[in-house]
Amino acid sequence: MTFEKIKFAVVGCGKIGKRHIQVIENEPEAELTAICDIQPTNYKTIPFFSSLEELLTSLVPFDVVCICTPNGLHTQQALQVLQHQKHVVIEKPMGLTKASCEAVIHQALNSGKQVFCVMQNRYSPPIQLLKKLVEEQKLGEIFLVQINCFWNRDERYYTGDWHGTKDLDGGILYTQFAHFIDIMYWLFGDIKKVKTQFQNFTHQTSTEFADTGVASFQFEQGGIGNISFTTTVQNQNFESSITIISSKGTVKIGGQYMNEITHFEVENYTMPQLEPTNAPNQYGNYQGSAANHHHMIKNVIDVLKGRNPITTNALEGMKVVEIIQKIYNG
């Protein structure tokens, strides 16, 4: 059987970029045709470029560019890719401001190209089940949503890197916890009336922003919510969880990466057997098939071949950034 492959270029060859490269190389309908990084890489058989401009003006064929660079570069580089009439995959976050994300959306509309935002945690079996419960109104009225994000990021993480800076990192809600903000938005929509508290307890010399925060808010669609987040946990990640209290039940999805159902009680509903999840270890390295990124790359291919709708579109990516801004500005 023969079929035309979607050609990918990957910009940024750090941990996330390597994950994209691995998934693309393992996908039968994808082909990795170029890589780009400011540092030399070990990928000797793939055309290498030391700048995005060099890549975009080369004669190497590619359909999609995966942007896996520091957060503060995402929107600027996405604009460059779209201006060269290529589709773009943007790792989280889509940007550091709503305005910069809007500029990307505007350019995508003018270019007629797709913007894919990487929110692969939506593919987690427990989150997929929770989405089904919400869409089918099995939970009834939503009363309270509690999100806990308790992770470790110490000097091992912040040594000699872009992490910890306001202009390239942005803050722990962007770099560590954007996926969980996305899950909250995907399930329950936008928020309003945000009240927040922040503190920098253990990262005064390593970050330019708070390492701990608490935010309370109301959902536009009804119910109230709260998120507590920190990177001060000693030694290793502790928990990322979402708890829903509703008129027809109580559900908690926990574990280190919001990937385990730890409580399930829903009126007249029996929890189905779920596929096992594939979670990263404490330093963010994924085992097996690179967690759920393979679903994301497969969705890019399916969309470009006209088989399926996009999983996380640019508007949703922008909304996550807008919610993070609301929390930080609360």
Structural domains of the chain, ranges and CATH numbers in brackets: 6-117 (3.40.50.720), 122-280 (3.30.360.10)
CA angle in degrees (0–180, nearest 5) for 312-313-318: 105
Cα–chain center distance at 13? 17
Whole-Å CA distances, 42 to 37, 39, 46, 47: 11, 10, 9, 11
Mean pLDDT of 138-144: 98
> How does pLDDT run across 183-220, given as a tens digit for each residue?
999 999 999 999 999 999 999 999 999 999 999 999 99
The whole-angstrom separation of Cα 30 and Cα 201 is 45
Q: Which amino acid is it at 200?
A: N
Q: What is the b/e burial string over 233-251, where b = at least 16 CB atoms within 10 angstroms of the residue's CB?
A: beeebbebbbbbbbebbeb
How do 239-246 and 249-254 pair as beta strands?
antiparallel
> How does pLDDT run across 38-91, given as a tens digit for each residue?
998 888 899 999 999 999 999 999 999 999 999 999 999 999 999 999 999 999
Q: For the full predicted model, state whether its pTM sits above 0.85.
A: yes
> How does pLDDT run across 250-297, given as a tens digit for each residue?
999 999 999 999 999 999 999 998 877 654 443 344 433 346 899 999
In terms of phi and psi (left: phi > 0; alpha: psi -120 to 50; beta: otherwise), the region of 291 is left
How do 30-36 and 191-199 pair as beta strands?
unpaired
Q: Do 94 and 321 meet the contact criterion of CB atoms below 8 Å apart?
A: yes
The whole-angstrom separation of Cα 317 and Cα 198 is 24
Tokens matching residue 218: 């109301």
Quickly count: other Cβ atoms within 10 Å of residue 160's Cβ.
Answer: 5
Burial of 269 per CB tally in 10 Å (0-12, 13-18, 19+): middle
The whole-angstrom separation of Cα 273 and Cα 173 is 32
pLDDT value at residue 281 = 40
pLDDT value at residue 42 = 82
Quickly count: other Cβ atoms within 10 Å of residue 131's Cβ.
Answer: 15
pLDDT value at residue 10 = 98
Mean pLDDT for all residues in the chain: 93
Tokens matching residue 22: 């691995």
> How does pLDDT run across 93-130, given as a tens digit for each residue?
999 999 999 999 999 999 999 999 999 999 999 999 99
Tokens matching residue 312: 């996380």
Strands (E), the chain: 6-11, 30-36, 48-49, 64-67, 87-90, 115-117, 142-150, 191-199, 212-219, 224-230, 239-246, 249-254, 260-266
pLDDT value at residue 156 = 86
> Max CA-CA distance within the chain?
59
pLDDT value at residue 287 = 39
